[in-house]
Structure 1
Amino acid sequence: MSKKLFFLTALSAFSTNVFAAQTVNVYTEEFFGSDWGPGGEVKAAFEKHYPQCEIHYTVFNESSTLLNRIRLEKNKLKADVVLGLENSQFEAAEKTGLFTETGVDLSKLDLPEKWQNPLFVPYEFGQFSFIYDKTKLSNPPKSLRELVERQDLKVIYQDPRTSSMGRGFVVWMNSVFNADQITQAWQTLAKHTLTVGKGWTETYGAFLKGEGDLVFSHSTSPIYHLLKEQKDQYAATQFAEGALYQYEAVAKVAGKQNACADNFIQFIFTPEAQKIITPKNVMLSSISAEIEPHFDALKASQKGSKTLDSRDASDANIKNWISTWQAALAQ
């Protein structure tokens, strides 16, 4: 081999090594990483800003499946970033000891409450609500207690054993009903519950087919119908007891020296990324910026809402509450 050819071959190998993109392995759930989610557009936008970085998603069908994979892999966790765990899972995820602080400036967040957890930082949030069709239901319930009591309403919600939404509903019920009331409340609700579905997609689809009067979802759902379908007949309940929120977060896996992962986490909280995520996921932005007029207006209107205290929603309590739900429905 000539000296010139040897030099060019060595230079080529050196260049390939230097300029090869650094991969960021992101574990996420389908609402973010699927073909119809915001993940693809976020990846493209991020890689345009950081051409030395490459995002690779591993997508799980539900956040509970995502959490189970994290527990299974333990210290061999392949992810650099985990995106999509929600607040009822933070305690269990933290107990794994696999996460470190994200580096996100928490003071820049714009949320219904002051955020203090540096390990799990919300990139979006939504207020729990029941969705109904105004053309079919003219007198929606004005409180959760009324929803439970009214036998004329056919209700759909998600199974808390398989759905993060279902767990959210269990937390909401236990935030409103005392321990000595909750079993009776579940039994009363069961008398006019049409479906307890495996997940949100299944239950919301049943509602849109005309099954049931109200379905458990987020207060943002009517915006989807308005913007995507030009339908304005859907509305979200506002209950007198107060609001409860679901937060979906970004988390950084400890022990990974990956500058691109740090850049990706910071990018998620930019207006550019949030303008992709908010309308795609039909949730509210976690930062203070103009994202989309309909979502911005809803977020502003909810700022004065009464918020329920969910501090009792520990991992152990949620498991006990689900057991109580199961026992009540079995009676």
Structure 2
Amino acid sequence: MFKTHLTTVAGLCFCATGALAEVPVLTVYTYDSFVTDWGPGPAIEAAFEAECACDLQFVGNGDGAALLARVRLEGPRTDADIVLGLDTSLIAEARQTGVFTDHGVETVFDLPIAWDDQQFLPYDWGYFAFVGNAGADAPKTIAELAVSDIKIVIQDPRSSTPGLGLLMWVQAAYPDDSQAIWEALADNIVTVTPGWSEAYGLFLEGEADAVLSYTTSPAYHIYAEEDETKTAWAFSDGHYMQVEVAAKLASSDQPELADQFMAFIVSDGFQSVIPRTNWMYPVVVSDAGLPDEFQGLTTPEKSLLFAPAEAASIRDAALEEWRAALSQ
């Protein structure tokens, strides 16, 4: 009888193990801040797993530009089913890799620009801005910042989408004077970090007067800390827009599950999480609208954005200007 009992238990264990092994796994490469406890990842994982009967695994990999570098290196052998965290400045380069396929999602976006890309699906958007302390004598343009004594922290454009966004911002606002702007900005820069999280942390620790971030960043402090001392500086020469996107890998071994997640991205289960975790604007606004802390944020008078192909065409030259200015 004792032997029979052991056999039964062993059988149950085998069945349970077999059942667990059959749970499909969906792997999503994204940036580090997305998967933190305070980021969107945990809530989105729980919401999607409640629908999919699957194991959704987010894999953090530095910042947005680093994601593309990893996927390009891994190619069709990548473990990723979806990459989430590229943006408009990287779309053309990402498309050239040939590793992505159509997402098949159709919806109406709440975006300030038209969107019809069949491979890259937007999930949030915002405007880059320098965030500083309220009450400080804030500059009114990038050029004014560059000739000031204000100390800033920025991100590396080779690994970070905000860092690359600043390169595009300078090019869009000062197409004929971008090199001079970078030469003037060089002595304002305290340090260059690999990603957004490190840079914002240094600013909060008082290591700089301002940090490259987003017009929506102060909403976090208002909501989470009841702190209204952080503000996004409004620049009259414009603010560069960022649209963050997700894309499905053609090599995915879970294509139907990947399609389900891509459709989930534009659902309320995903979009409602974005404002108070990623602190960006959702691409599909719910009937309830945006949270209260998003009211009264800095709204750019002038919006700047290169089309993906144009951003790709000027990236190398812009990066060389940046390198040369910071190496002096």
TM-score normalised by L of structure 2: 0.86
Q: Residues 19-168 of structure 1: matches in 2 within 5 Å?
A: 20-51=22-53, 53-105=54-106, 107-135=107-135, 137=136, 139-149=137-147, 151-168=148-165
Deviation of 1:296 (Å): 5.3
The SS at the match of 2:55 is: strand
2:32 alignment partner AA: E
CA–CA distance in 2 between the matches of 1:63 and 1:282?
16
1:88 alignment partner AA: S
Q: Which residue of 2 aligns with 1:203?
A: 199
* CA displacement, residues 81-117 of structure 1 (integer Å, 9 cap, x when unaligned): 1111122211111111111111121x51111211122
* CA displacement, residues 144-167 of structure 1 (integer Å, 9 cap, x when unaligned): 222223x23223222223322111
User: For residues 198 and 291 of structure 1, do their structure 2 counterparts lie closer, same or farther at Cα, with a shift above 3 Å needed?
Assistant: same
* CA displacement, residues 246-292 of structure 1 (integer Å, 9 cap, x when unaligned): 22211011254622211111112112222223211111111132354
1:64 alignment partner AA: A
CA–CA distance in 2 between the matches of 1:210 and 1:34?
22
The SS at the match of 1:45 is: helix
Asked if the contact 1:271–1:291 (Cα under 8 Å) also holds between the matched residues in 2, the reply is no
1:63 alignment partner AA: G
1:242 aligns with 2:238: yes
Deviation of 1:219 (Å): 0.8
The SS at the match of 2:149 is: coil
Q: Residues 249-264 of structure 1: matches in 2 within 5 Å?
A: 249-256=245-252, 258-264=255-261
CA–CA distance in 1 between the matches of 2:58 and 2:99?
19
Please, what is the CA RMSD of the aligned residues?
2.7
Q: Residues 218-297 of structure 1: matches in 2 within 5 Å?
A: 218-256=214-252, 258-289=255-286, 290=288, 292-294=290-292, 297=295
TM-score normalised by L of structure 1: 0.85
Q: Residues 306-321 of structure 1: matches in 2 within 5 Å?
A: 306-311=302-307, 313-321=310-318
* CA displacement, residues 174-220 of structure 1 (integer Å, 9 cap, x when unaligned): 111124x2222111122333333333222222222223322110111
CA–CA distance in 2 between the matches of 1:178 and 1:57?
38
Kindly tell me the number of residue pairs found equivalent between the two proteins.
313
CA–CA distance in 1 between the matches of 2:37 and 2:301?
34
Asked if the contact 2:223–2:293 (Cα under 8 Å) also holds between the matched residues in 1, the reply is no
CA–CA distance in 1 between the matches of 2:270 and 2:302?
29
CA–CA distance in 1 between the matches of 2:170 and 2:321?
12
Deviation of 1:77 (Å): 2.4
CA–CA distance in 1 between the matches of 2:202 and 2:20?
53
Deviation of 1:314 (Å): 2.7
The SS at the match of 1:162 is: coil
The SS at the match of 2:244 is: strand
Deviation of 1:313 (Å): 4.3
CA–CA distance in 2 between the matches of 1:288 and 1:99?
27
Asked if the contact 2:27–2:56 (Cα under 8 Å) also holds between the matched residues in 1, the reply is yes
Deviation of 1:294 (Å): 3.1
CA–CA distance in 2 between the matches of 1:309 and 1:124?
15
* CA displacement, residues 2-31 of structure 1 (integer Å, 9 cap, x when unaligned): xxxxxxx9xx98xx6799433222222212
Deviation of 1:230 (Å): 1.0
2:44 alignment partner AA: V
CA–CA distance in 1 between the matches of 2:103 and 2:189?
41
User: For residues 25 and 309 of structure 1, do their structure 2 counterparts lie closer, same or farther at Cα, with a shift above 3 Å needed?
Assistant: closer
* CA displacement, residues 293-316 of structure 1 (integer Å, 9 cap, x when unaligned): 2365368x84x8422242374324
Consecutive unaligned residues of structure 1, counting only runs of 5 or more, are 1-8
Consecutive unaligned residues of structure 2, counting only runs of 5 or more, are 1-10
